[in-house]
Amino acid sequence: MRSKPTLRIPFGILGLLAALAIYALFVAWASQWIGTLHVLIQTPIYIVLGTIWLLPLRRFLIWMETGRWG
């Protein structure tokens, strides 16, 4: 339990939303080239792009709660 409130959680949420918005814009921008590929090539690309943003999420949420990265 935290002894006093910090701004890590509100700033972390805003940072997370901003990072996800930038990532989504990047994927939308890249889709103009991905869309020209065969559907069997598009599928694994979109699966990877749809899940890769989850990799740093755990450490980021830990930082928001504790102030430590791991």
For residue 3, the Cα-to-chain-centroid distance in whole angstroms is: 29
pLDDT tens digit string along 8-66?
A: 999 999 999 999 999 999 999 999 999 999 999 999 999 999 999 999 898 998 988 88
**Which pair of structure tokens corresponds to residue 1?**
């339990």
- Phi, psi dihedrals of residue 6, rounded to the nearest 5°: -125, 165
Residues with Cβ within 8 Å of residue 27, at least 6 apart in sequence: 49
pLDDT at position 6, please?
Answer: 84
Residues 50-59 have pLDDT tens digits of 999 999 898 9
| CA neighbor of 49 nearest in space, from 59, 37, 60 | 37
| Domain ranges (residues) in the chain | 23-65
Predicted TM-score (pTM) of this structure: 0.81
